[in-house]
Amino acid sequence: MRQQTVYQLSIRQVLLIAFVAALFAAGGVACLNNFSNQIQHQSFAETTPEKATEEQPAGISDPQSVSDEQNNIEVYRSMSQGVAFIRTSSYQQDWYGNVEEGQRGSGSGSVIDAQGHILTNAHVVQDASKVTVSLGGEKVYPATVVGSDPDTDLAVLKIEPPRDHALTIVPFGNSDQLSVGQKVLAIGNPFGLDRTLTTGVISGLQRPIRGINGRPIEGAVQTDASINPGNSGGPLLDSRGRMIGINSQIYSRTGNSVGVGFAVPVNIAKRIVPQLIQFGEVRRPKLGVGTRSVSDLRGQGVRLPIESGLLIMNVYQGTAAAQAGLRGTSQTNYGEITMGDIITSIDGEKTDDPDDLYKILDKKQIGDTVSVEIVRDGRRTTVPVRLQPLPGSNRTTTTATPRRSF
């Protein structure tokens, strides 16, 4: 009895705080859109990812048949016209109600089809009220944000393609077939310097970085090619002129390049770009739960029956988890805590951290059935859950804040 009393007091102190945080998470869920029941894969520009991977840009010789200098020249000459100079601005209202132009920004992007779609970073167009694109020369095109995905820090813009000449399309390569030491080239607009070329090598693979909302982005490409403010969203190319990454982040204490840059793998873009163009968002399957890490709670003094896993704090109405009968943590009118299910794995993959849950679900599709192993009342059991989108509004915006709901 003595141990039971200590257990209830300890978990109450910690979980009451967690309940307050959960209220904010629940408010975020109310803003989530209705998804369709299955993911529709739409090819863009009548080019499948496989065809884009196989495409060889014209004007670029076999890198093994020319000097390194000549290869640099050919890649730049062939692909630079497909690199966009993106300028953004936001509008703000003063005390007198007058609307004036506020913060300005710039970045880079890649033309990915003949219809005028341009791939860039989500953070380049975040909070932008106005977006314009230059493809060289004095011509400036107004652009609209077709879709944005804060989880992967990718966005797609759209311009009306010029009638007097064809757009230069930057073809997709294959980021699953890269090697450390492989030559890469970056074209972008650092510090507003139009179409700057830098070269380097792949310094590392499978680096963990995070999107603008804190979500993990798996498998980032590390490079020593100089990347600076304004390069964001531009292409990281291989020696054949194919995009193998989207330059996104640098590691620096000064804000300028120190030779450690990161690019979002192009194969992630292949997966989500069709959805951004078709839906304006990425439609991902969700369980419909809010969780806390068991190891974190134990570190705060909460006594739990296992050492790792994810304690379900909330199960949201109408979600896959609710339909499968998963249980959240609750509190009685007398202040007693009833502990919810603890998720230990999904389809055999361990779930020790909320990031683990996100990574596992990101590989799934709406309609998939997964085996969720849980600990309930001290006993292990497995519950089949058919993944669904979260009910309600789920419109992805560039101003999204971090969520811990899955």
Annotated active-site positions, please? 123, 153, 232
Q: Are 192 and 106 in contact (CB under 8 A)?
A: yes
Phi then psi dihedrals of residue 30, to 5 deg: -65, -15
Alpha carbons 197 and 184: distance in angstroms, whole number: 11
Tokens 């000459």 found at? 77
Alpha carbons 60 and 74: distance in angstroms, whole number: 5
Q: Are 269 and 235 in contact (CB under 8 A)?
A: no
Alpha carbons 103 and 129: distance in angstroms, whole number: 10
Alpha carbons 25 and 21: distance in angstroms, whole number: 7
Can you name the residues that pair with 84 across neighbouring β-strands? 109
Tokens 């770009």 found at? 273
- The three-class DSSP label of residue 192 is helix
Q: Which two tokens stand for residue 379?
A: 């006993």
Q: Are 283 and 389 in contact (CB under 8 A)?
A: yes
Q: Are 330 and 340 in contact (CB under 8 A)?
A: yes
The 10 Å Cβ neighbour count of residue 308 is 16
- Helix H or strand E segment including 236: strand 235-237
For strand 243-250 and strand 196-210, is the pairing parallel, antiparallel, or unpaired?
Answer: unpaired
CA nearest to 143, candidates 237, 80, 77, 233: 233
- The three-class DSSP label of residue 237 is strand
Alpha carbons 28 and 35: distance in angstroms, whole number: 16
